[in-house]
Amino acid sequence: QVQLVESGGGVVQPGRSLRLSCAASGFTFSIYAMHWVRQAPGQGLEWVAVMSYDGSDKYYADSVKGRFTISRDNSKNTLYLQMNSLRPEDTAVYYCAKSLGSGYFNSFDYWGQGALVTVSS
Amino acid sequence: DIQMTQSPSSLSASVGDRVTITCRASQAISNYLAWFQQKPGKAPRSLISAASTLQSGVPSKFSGSGSGTDFTLTISSLQPEDFATYYCQQYRSYPLTFGGGTKVEIK
């Protein structure tokens, strides 16, 4: 069965960096686009970033552009989110999500359990 | 950016009730519309894509309809396990955007 397992969350000071990982299993990781979505405490869902199946293309939300970098290693079936210059407003649970297809204009079908990132001094 | 507006933001209903949630896009998105269910402390669950296509394993009491700018999610007979928050999402253009959510509570 499809599994997405995030790791790397924690407490970090403003201005510091953190890298999240999402280990995928149960499907052919290398043929699907993958997303990061976050949810601040008590708030709704916010899409963060997407990477194409082969890593050749990516898009970001304006709120993280220039600070966050999405990447993937298809040989390790793993998606990453490098988060730099973190701000208190980046505090959220971060979910990775599998696209329904290889292209960008697909919805999601599976989600990970989430990783909590807390940005606080 | 495409804005997604859900209504109502919350509702109270009884077991067995038929419930309808509305989602409106700020511009036409054809049928590039998905619905998700989220229970407290849990990850979202994908219910519907392409406005009306049920994801694998989703019971048929859930149904979606609409095209263009106006969409609905209907739960035909509310059960205890359906009390949750529901989100719509457009994937017609980037950035992908979600509605603000509809919390379905027990009356």
Q: What is the mean pLDDT of chain A?
A: 96
For the residues B18-46, what does the mean pLDDT come to?
A: 98
| Cα torsion angle, A100, A101, A107, A111, sign | positive
Q: Is A81 left (phi over 0), alpha (psi -120 to 50) or beta?
A: beta
Contacts of A37 in chain B (CB under 8 A): 44
E strands within B62-101? 62-67, 70-75, 85-90, 97-98
Q: Which residues of A touch B101 (CB under 8 A)?
A: 44-45
**Residue A53 burial (C-beta neighbours within 10 Å; 0-12, 13-18, 19+):** buried
A-B contacts at Cβ under 8 angstroms: 57
Residue A27 confidence class, pLDDT cut points 50, 70, 90: very high
Cis? peptide before B59, omega within 30° of 0: no
pLDDT in tens, B56-82: 999 999 999 999 999 999 999 999 999
pLDDT band at B107 (very low <50, low <70, confident <90, very high): confident
- At residue A19 the predicted structure's pLDDT band, cuts being 50, 70 and 90, is very high
Confidence of residue A73 (pLDDT cuts 50, 70, 90): very high
Q: With an 8 Å Cβ cutoff, is B86 touching chain A?
A: no
Model pLDDT, residue A103: 82
